[in-house]
Structure 1
Amino acid sequence: MTATPLPSLNDPQALLRHLYDVAVQRALPLHNTAASLPAPPKGRTLVLGAGKAGGAMAHAVEALWPADAPLSGLVVTRYGHTPPRPVGLAQRIEVVEAAHPVPDAAGLQAAQRILALTQGLTEDDLVLCLISGGGSALLTLPCEGLTLADKQRINRQLLESGAHIGEMNTVRKHLSAIKGGRLAAACAPARVVTLTISDVPGDDVSVIASGPTVADASTCADALAILRRYGIAVPPAVQAQLEAGTLETPKPGDPRLARCETHLIATPQQSLEAAAEAARALGLRAYVLSDEIEGESREVGKVHAALARSTAQRRSSFEAPCVLLSGGETTVTVRPRAEGQPKGRGGRAGEFCLGLAQALGGQPGVWALAADTDGIDGVEDNAGARVAPDTLARAAAQGLKIADHLARNDAYGFFAPLGDLVMTGPTHTNVNDFRAIWVA
């Protein structure tokens, strides 16, 4: 992705897009990998990985690894998320693509191949694991008694339930033969070094991509409770295994994970701080609210609207003009559709913008951009959306009712006619939601 030129303070939307680009650039693998790379081992080095940043992470390792040191492996990323190979860079790591957020047969085949590659590893070998957000869907290997179709159904139901990422990944770990530390266990007795890009609130490495190389403190009972909470059924044989605890994951202290270490190479907070520094370099105050904001996207939008409105009205501890920045991973609970009603389109960032715009009510002097740092909001082709003081007025002129679009989770259908979708294409990294609000 090409960075935008430095914007003028007289162009709020260009400035907000510039801050998004800076945040994404800060999280690109090539900028963050070298410091955490181990030295080549006595034996061979095997690279395994999964996530939306997988292709770019593989390229970074290939560029940085000594040319005379053996290197091979397999990484799976999302369809369309493999970046162009740099000119002159020899391919030593195979990159394949699969579906996200609902897994497919390609992801299943990739996970089977990755697990098979761990056979025959010795104490002299090094396994370098490249893990980023999206790995839960891309690295799919159902437990005994669960089919790919079952996994797809459960994933869809989790995504539409409003469950937060920690809950979703607790279930995914216990229904998998490779996640929740199982990949690392399969690599023993080799040394396992995981380089990970965080896309989760709090940077919990056991949650990122469902922690395939990290010990898991959650339990089968926890997974069962989450499934019951959201009314999601599993096959009777799997239900029985969960109740008996036979699908338990490797726990902290498991000797198979004794030679495992994990390094965070990019985080949401780092990207937010980079955006804040960029704003200050342009002479604008910047406040980072938090990188851990969770909750229903539309409700989080309303809270941000209240902060922006009070700041615009000079009733806040934030001093305008300024930019308010936040990150995290919000959720969208998909509402039931009336018969014959078209399915809404959009993701977390778009739904946040719907809630924000509705609550702002055309507040003068407030502009906003919300986008996913991987360049894809949900399953659409946009990264997110923009909000301006005239958003509601322009929508009304086109007969668009924001309440109707919220009712059917249709952010894409609201912002597309206004020309207010943020389009970036895949960014080849992923540190989750990015939100920036300019208050004049």
Structure 2
Amino acid sequence: MNHRELLLDMFKAAIAAAQPALCVPPALPEAPKGRLIVIGAGKASAEMARAVEQHWTGPLTGLVVTRYGYAVPCQRIEIAEAAHPVPDAAGLQAARRMLDRVHGLSADDTVLCLISGGGSSLLPLPIDGISLEDKQHVNQVLLQSGASISEMNCVRRHLSAIKGGRLAAACHPARVVTLLISDVPGDDPRDIASGPTVGDASTCADALDIVGRYRMRLPEHVMDVLRSGRGESVKPNDPRLARAEVRIIATPQMALDAAARVAADAGVTPYILGDGIEGEARDVGKVMAGIALQAARRGQPFAAPCVLLSGGETTVTVRGQGRGGRNVEFLLSCAIALQGEAGVHGLAGDTDGVDGQEEIAGAWIAPDTLDRAWAAGLRPSASLDNNDGHGFFQRLGDSVVTGPTLTNVNDFRALLVTR
């Protein structure tokens, strides 16, 4: 058995299961009496737009924004590119233009909104009194805080002029149909790109609690937006959302199911441990290593050959100066806990092809990972302390690089136990 090849085949299957060309066409709405306007944001939004164009026979116009390097050719829908994960002026301009596109619609019109992970950073339209520079600072603080994705998006929704249901409200009285590719634990529509077309029951007070819980240091005028309630989001019972509906078309669970089928076909029993696992990446790495060790040594709770699959979105509280991401942090912690256990191999990667801020999806580990690291002059624990997972695995030649995958259903983790 070629362990790396099998792990990579599972990862590729997970990504393929969430491709927009597969999941967008069955979810398209019927043709409206009036116009169809296509809008959207996220790492998969351009590929979603192309799928719409290829399967929509009537007239349409639109604008979607995706991450730099993720654009694909479209004929009728304009594709804009902007920065992720830290927003930039291109994203700000795209968000303003998107609101302009949906202004003045009628009840006969339909807005088709294509949303996937990454949309929060790609639609950085701040509420009055907050600048783009403020948004960039807040985003950096959030990314380094250790807060969960749900907590981060709660704060984002209450500092935005387009998220937290505001985009759908701007489309009123048109019908709004949102197609979602989920990249969040639990598939909560509010948390996918911070829910621009979804009513939000959370409040400014909730956002303030999160800021305080993680001791985030935000500018005083940003805090004032939350304290005053000026950042309150659009609530689920708002009449402007009466004609807004959501269709989740791809999820982390679908991706894990596809990977499981690849494993089973190879004679390896798959076990999906969860599609929404959260927590500190290094802690999750230790726990997963412990389960793999018990399987390898005791045949409990699963007998080899087996593969332990999981998804979700872990967090990294950044304390070092290295180049890292949550998947390589997970893997490095896992390798240290495994201590070269024979018969245990692993792969972890982000299904969008970008782990952290690097154009690297993730990495592999094997029983000889630590030995090769020491021979190369690396100190695994020091690399972990410095949040330098990418630096560590690149030195070993064990990075997994996919390029833009044109989708995003969050993290993929697989630990293969062969004996």
TM-score (norm 1): 0.94
Q: How many residues align?
A: 418
Q: Which residue of structure 1 lines up, in the alignment, with residue 110 of structure 2? A: 126
Q: CA deviation at 1:230?
A: 2.2
Partner residue of 2:360 out of 382, 391, 405: 382
Counterpart-to-counterpart distance in 1, 2:229 and 2:256 = 40
List gaps (5 residues or longer) in structure 2: none
| Ranges of 4+ aligned residues in structure 1 off by more than 4 Å | none
Residue 62, structure 1, aligned to residue 53, structure 2: yes
Matches of residues 319-330 of structure 1 in structure 2 within 5 Å? 319-330=303-314
Partner residue of 2:26 out of 17, 35, 50: 35
Matches of residues 365-404 of structure 1 in structure 2 within 5 Å? 365-404=343-382
Counterpart-to-counterpart distance in 2, 1:242 and 1:18 = 46
CA deviations 1:196-255 (Å, max 9, x no partner) are: 000000000111000000000110001111112222244434423322222211111110
Amino acid at match of 1:163: A
SS of residue in 2 equivalent to 1:292: strand
SS of residue in 1 equivalent to 2:81: strand
2:145–2:216 CA contact under 8 A, matched in 1 = no
Residue 71, structure 1, aligned to residue 49, structure 2: no
CA deviations 1:353-399 (Å, max 9, x no partner) are: 11100000000000000000001111112100100000000001111
Q: CA deviation at 1:283?
A: 1.8
Identity of aligned residues (%): 61
Partner residue of 1:186 out of 170, 174, 180: 170
Amino acid at match of 1:19: M
Q: Which residue of structure 2 lines up, in the alignment, with residue 52 of structure 1? A: 43
Amino acid at match of 1:199: D
1:146–1:235 CA contact under 8 A, matched in 2 = no
Q: CA deviation at 1:109?
A: 0.4
Partner residue of 1:412 out of 364, 371, 390: 390
Matches of residues 289-300 of structure 1 in structure 2 within 5 Å? 289-300=273-284
Deviating more after overlay: 278-287 vs 353-362: 278-287
Counterpart-to-counterpart distance in 2, 1:435 and 1:155 = 26
Residue 331, structure 1, aligned to residue 315, structure 2: yes
2:294–2:301 CA contact under 8 A, matched in 1 = no
Counterpart-to-counterpart distance in 2, 1:116 and 1:289 = 44
Q: CA deviation at 1:40?
A: 1.1
Amino acid at match of 2:408: N
SS of residue in 2 equivalent to 1:381: coil
SS of residue in 1 equivalent to 2:227: helix
Amino acid at match of 2:61: S
Counterpart-to-counterpart distance in 2, 1:236 and 1:384 = 37
1:145–1:235 CA contact under 8 A, matched in 2 = no
List gaps (5 residues or longer) in structure 1: 1-9, 338-342
Q: Which residue of structure 2 lines up, in the alignment, with residue 145 of structure 1? A: 129
